[in-house]
Structure 1
């Protein structure tokens, strides 16, 4: 009889779940491409900002985006987003997706053409999580 086990270390279970899910997805979607991307902003050779994402099938998932405070508000963010979107298009992505917290950058993403499709509340301090997407 199967048993359920709660684990604090996820390595073995994560590998098994990913392998099973990948096989199942392959049955329904064919071969899936997974490609990581990163674009950095450098000042005198030091990384002072960047955006990291992953393309899965044809969707760019923006995972991390940060710019050092003193470099914000100078248009660097728009250039970084444009650069990762351009590279994603070259690889075959047709859509982009991002999640951001209410204190982070939902307004910025909207200004870059992203449309909000969901909000999750319940975070401490009244913070909400915003899910946005954009056609590439």
Structure 2
């Protein structure tokens, strides 16, 4: 089989690879119970300006994106969104949450929110690093249950 490096695939080719991977994972690991979770931030005109994007699956919440616009920072919005997402994840039966970041300020926020570092990749271009963090939920039920 000949292999070649490209800088892109047709959308249907990428979809085909993803579908094959999903089928393999389903057969090998079982259902993931994946459910999306969004907490959008809107401005006064109803335009989206930031928010939290993630999903729950296999008993964990993964926050893939968390963004607060500069003019709204310092108001506790990031912490509130994380708290909301974690409470929903607990309602969905999750045992914990994980997140990754390259931003040192975000890393400090996650540590204050009870996350702990579980790994990092140092020496990225520009002297940056990426850090992975996790937070195990307490065994008591989520509020509102």
TM-score range, shorter chain: 0.7 to 0.9
The number of residue pairs the alignment matches comes to 135
For residues 33 and 46 of structure 1, what CA distance do their matches in structure 2 show?
31
Equivalent residue of 2:123, what SS?
coil
For residues 12 and 48 of structure 1, what CA distance do their matches in structure 2 show?
30
* Stretches of structure 2 lacking an aligned partner (at least 5 in a row): 138-145
Equivalent residue of 1:121, what SS?
strand
For residues 25 and 15 of structure 2, what CA distance do their matches in structure 1 show?
15
Whether the 8 Å CA contact 1:40–1:49 is kept in 2: the answer is: yes
Q: CA RMSD in A?
A: 2.0
Partner residue, 1:100: 101
Shift of 1:43: 4.4
Partner residue, 1:29: 29
Distance 1:55 1:5, change over 3 A: farther
Equivalent residue of 1:53, what SS?
strand
TM-score when normalising by structure 1: 0.84
* Stretches of structure 1 lacking an aligned partner (at least 5 in a row): none
Partner residue, 1:88: 89
TM-score when normalising by structure 2: 0.80
- Residues 72-95 of structure 1 show CA distances to partners (whole Å, capped at 9, x for unaligned) of 112111111111112222223222
